């Protein structure tokens, strides 16, 4: 794949799979994509309705701005939108000092989070991403940071917002991929003269969520679209269960069937793969059936190779129907009837 980025990655967070990479572990300046980690730290340590009074020093921080006015007050939520949508370095500074008391203390929180996430190629010196010798990351590490941040519902809401009104201003998201690519669900841009253009984005299509990171990429909008299209054309997300194995017959219950669920939603495979499932389930179950109780398991194979296994459990409670309790002989006949329609072992679906 020919792309403009010096380093890049496409990462599938559900299975933590790298689907494309180009020098993804190279340490580089990352500009304002830094603010993804900043947002994560703020969301973990502050309340959205916390009030922050803006100082003159915060308002005049160099680089991109959310146009905060010294002496005025903003909520943490408003500052997060100003930081993420228009990349306000003033907002990033105000949030850092509100959260930890100083930029240095906030950077320590960021680096502690890196340790927690198992990242060894990243170090943060500030919350905004302005160039510093000890401020760097990699395409891989940024993908993992974005995946962690996207577990926060509020982060995802901000990440995907096209605009946001604050007082007499409207912040319009700098991430043009939200408009250029149909399946884009969020992103954060970054640029300094030394770092070049960097971009972290997210897309979801056909049930598969992906994170794409490019660093030092003069043609990043097209890089991301080409990378997403390539992955979606070459990989697929197959569910652990199919319609044929999403329910099980129940004898003597208030319902004739019980719904099933699996411990894994599905598995990532090459789109051209031949899929086979081996399912281990009883022919039927007698009521009562307890919600969450183990029912069996499923193994999924792609082109003959095992790609994943999942436990199957009951997805609902089915009570015993006291008006439909069979004698032992009736239970046997009922079981025989069901066994002619439902098997213990489904070799391939």
Active-site hit among 35, 127, 252, 262:
35
Active site residue 272: no
| CA distances for 230 relative to 19, 127, 212, 219, 236, angstroms | 10, 33, 12, 17, 11
Active site residue 35: yes
| CA distances for 99 relative to 38, 150, 236, 349, angstroms | 10, 20, 41, 52
Active-site hit among 22, 64, 87, 137:
87
Active site residue 120: no
Active-site hit among 22, 32, 113, 201:
32
Buried b (16+ CB within 10 A) or exposed e, 275-299: bebbbebebbbbbebeeeeebbbbe
Q: Would you call 182 exposed, middle or buried from its count of C-beta atoms within 10 A (0-12, 13-18, 19+)?
A: exposed
Bridge pairing between strands 17-22 and 7-12: antiparallel
Q: Both ends of the chain: CA-CA distance in Å?
A: 34
Polymer length in residues for the chain: 349
The position carrying tokens 């792309």 is 3
Cross-strand pairs, 313: 261, 294
| CA distances for 202 relative to 25, 81, 164, 270, 290, angstroms | 20, 17, 19, 20, 38
Q: What are phi and psi of 200, to 5 degrees?
A: -115, 125
Strand arrangement of the beta sheet that strand 184-192 belongs to: 17-22, 7-12, 208-215, 196-205, 184-192
Residue 39 to residue 125: CA distance in whole angstroms: 15
Residue 19 to residue 74: CA distance in whole angstroms: 41
Name the residues annotated as catalytic: 32, 35, 87
């Amino acid at each position: 794949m020919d792309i403009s980025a010096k380093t890049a990655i496409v990462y599938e967070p559900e299975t933590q799979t790298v689907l494309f990479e180009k020098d993804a572990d190279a340490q580089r300046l990352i500009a304002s994509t830094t603010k993804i980690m900043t947002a994560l730290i703020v969301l973990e340590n502050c309340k959205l309705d916390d009030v922050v009074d803006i100082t003159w020093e915060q308002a005049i921080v160099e680089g991109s701005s959310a146009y905060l006015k010294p002496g005025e007050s903003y909520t943490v939520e408003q500052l997060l939108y100003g930081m993420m949508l228009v990349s306000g370095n003033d907002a990033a500074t105000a949030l850092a000092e509100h959260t930890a008391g100083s930029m240095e203390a906030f950077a320590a929180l960021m680096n502690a989070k890196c340790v927690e996430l198992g990242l060894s190629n990243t170090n943060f010196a500030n919350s905004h991403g302005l160039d510093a010798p000890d401020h760097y990351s990699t395409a891989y590490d940024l993908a993992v940071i974005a995946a962690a941040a996207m577990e926060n519902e509020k982060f995802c809401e901000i990440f995907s917002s096209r605009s946001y009104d604050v007082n007499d201003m409207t912040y319009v998201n700098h991430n043009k991929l939200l408009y250029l690519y149909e399946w884009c669900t969020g992103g954060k841009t970054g640029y300094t003269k030394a770092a070049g253009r960097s971009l972290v984005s997210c897309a979801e299509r056909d049930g598969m969520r992906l994170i794409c990171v490019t660093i030092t990429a003069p043609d990043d909008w097209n890089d991301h679209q080409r990378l997403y299209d390539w992955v979606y054309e070459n990989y697929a997300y197959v569910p652990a269960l199919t319609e044929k194995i999403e329910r099980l017959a129940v004898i003597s219950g208030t319902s004739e069937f019980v719904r099933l669920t699996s411990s894994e939603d599905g598995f990532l495979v090459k789109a051209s793969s031949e899929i086979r499932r081996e399912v281990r389930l009883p022919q039927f179950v007698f009521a009562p059936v307890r919600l969450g109780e183990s029912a069996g398991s499923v193994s999924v194979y792609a082109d003959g190779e095992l790609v994943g296994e999942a436990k199957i459990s009951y997805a609902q409670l089915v009570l015993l129907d006291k008006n439909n309790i069979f004698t032992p002989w009736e239970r046997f006949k009922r079981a025989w009837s069901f066994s002619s329609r439902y098997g213990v072992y489904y070799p391939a679906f």
